[in-house]
Amino acid sequence: MELLLPDQDTECGESVSSRRISNVPRALSSKRSKLIMHFDVNNTVQLFDSITGQGPRTALSSFLTTVTWGRINQKGNWEWASHVPSLNPPCDGAVRYDSQFGRLLDFTETADGCPFKKIFTDHLHQMEWTEPHNDLLSVTDEDGKQYHRIIPSFFELLDCLMSQNREFAIVFRSFGADLCETLEAIQVTLSGQHPQYQHLQMKHLPLTIAPGKIRCNKNVIELTLGSERISTKSSAKALYHYFSSLEGIVGFQDHFDWWSNNSFSNQGGKPFWIDSSETTIQHIFIDDNIRLNDTDTIVHPQEFVEDGSGTRTIPTAELYDICLVQTDLLKAIHDRHYFIKCMQQCEENYMNYIGLINEGILSHQ
């Protein structure tokens, strides 16, 4: 069914000019709580990694090894459990391909990976940049083709939130060193230079180009941004209140060595706080390395305990698709409303989650 979107102040849409699109997602929650959205960068809002040297082709190939599942059979050979990529195992006993063979950069060129070649080429094609060359908005891969630097579905979310006059902040959280380029690409877009999102220049949004840092040890977590310095030493809620007060777009480099020193488990992951007593603000973290297995996930979710004595670590499974979203990169590329739908789902699920706590079904003592 094809719909004509109303003006920007009534519905989430692709643009201010009421363009016709199909399969328009429903409007965001009428509750309109403030949203603090923490976004990973690589394999979430961009399809390349300047630190590892992966361009769009190798980054997509590597990602596919993390969402394809199978097992070693009795003859010692690999066999697929499904030929449909998925974030979680399609059946009991299935394991991710990368857990057995690593993240192959030429995965779809191998005998094992060839069944996924069409998925690879189709999604890579959707990321091709067909507009005039722009060093900040596009990247050139080893095949000589240019690709979007920022996945368009991110700009759709940004457009939707601004059109709805939502109170929100976008907080990029990356272990890498390419936050400046990401923030500059968004700045260029907001100045009207993105050919597909020129209408965004009419909307003012605070943006901090120079990223900050978050550093962790067993005693304290410290955030710095320019002259600002905030730590949990002064208050367990200091960083939570800081993030909750943000407006616009900002970025922070998280502490990779701390994650590595904690065996890549949630205990060393990117720190993230929620407060279930707060109903006017919702924090959401979107990252492709969020996993249901707490020994192999990238975010450390913590909630403040009711007696005010500190925080407790929340199992990822408890907040999955509520405050923690594992990026489905293929959907983010294919569906330009993907991130909008993620937000809608999280808002709805969060209200149900708070309801269970208020009814005493979930206890956070």
pLDDT tens digits for range 185-213: 999 999 999 999 999 987 789 999 999 99
- Give the pLDDT mean for 134-160: 95
pLDDT at residue 120 tops 90: yes
Measured CA to CA, the distance from residue 200 to residue 160 in angstroms comes to 10
- What pLDDT is attached to residue 12? 55
- What pLDDT is attached to residue 278? 86
> Strand (E) positions, the chain?
2-4, 20-22, 34-39, 69-72, 78-80, 95-96, 138-140, 146-148, 168-174, 212-216, 221-225, 228-231, 248-253, 270-274, 281-287, 299-304, 311-313, 324-326
Which position has the token pair 């990169």?
A: 329
Measured CA to CA, the distance from residue 239 to residue 218 in angstroms comes to 16
- Give the pLDDT mean for 15-34: 47
- What pLDDT is attached to residue 317? 96
- What pLDDT is attached to residue 61? 97
Half-sphere exposure of 236 (CA within 13 A, CB side): 14
pLDDT tens digits for range 322-349: 999 999 999 999 999 999 999 999 999 9
In the predicted model, what is the mean pLDDT of the chain? 89
Closest to 198 in 3D by CA, of 231, 155, 235, 239: 155
Amino acid at 117: K
- Give the pLDDT mean for 25-51: 80
- What pLDDT is attached to residue 307? 67
pLDDT at residue 308 tops 80: no
For the ranges 111-125, 137-151, 220-234, 295-309, which has the lowest average pLDDT?
Answer: 295-309
pLDDT band at 137 (very low <50, low <70, confident <90, very high): very high
In what side-by-side order are the strands of the sheet with 95-96? 78-80, 69-72, 95-96
Half-sphere exposure of 305 (CA within 13 A, CB side): 8
pLDDT at residue 17 tops 60: no
The percentage of residues in the chain with a pLDDT greater than 70, rounded to a whole number, is 89
pLDDT at residue 10 tops 70: no
Which position has the token pair 């890549």?
A: 264
- What pLDDT is attached to residue 222? 98
pLDDT band at 175 (very low <50, low <70, confident <90, very high): very high
Higher pLDDT, 29 or 51: 51
Instruction: Judge contact between 98 and 296, C-beta under 8 A.
Output: no
pLDDT band at 165 (very low <50, low <70, confident <90, very high): very high
- What pLDDT is attached to residue 4? 31
Checking phi first, is residue 310 left (phi over 0); if not, alpha (psi -120 to 50) or beta?
left
- What pLDDT is attached to residue 363? 64
- Give the pLDDT mean for 39-55: 90
Q: Which long-range contacts (CB under 8 A, 24 or more apart) does 359-362 make?
A: none
Measured CA to CA, the distance from residue 243 to residue 165 in angstroms comes to 19
pLDDT at residue 9 tops 80: no
Checking phi first, is residue 59 left (phi over 0); if not, alpha (psi -120 to 50) or beta?
alpha
pLDDT band at 94 (very low <50, low <70, confident <90, very high): very high
pLDDT at residue 7 tops 50: no
- Give the pLDDT mean for 277-284: 93
CA-to-CA separations, 177 to 135, 174, 214, 219, 254, in angstroms, rounded: 17, 8, 13, 25, 10
- Give the pLDDT mean for 144-169: 96
Higher pLDDT, 17 or 87: 87
pLDDT at residue 306 tops 90: no
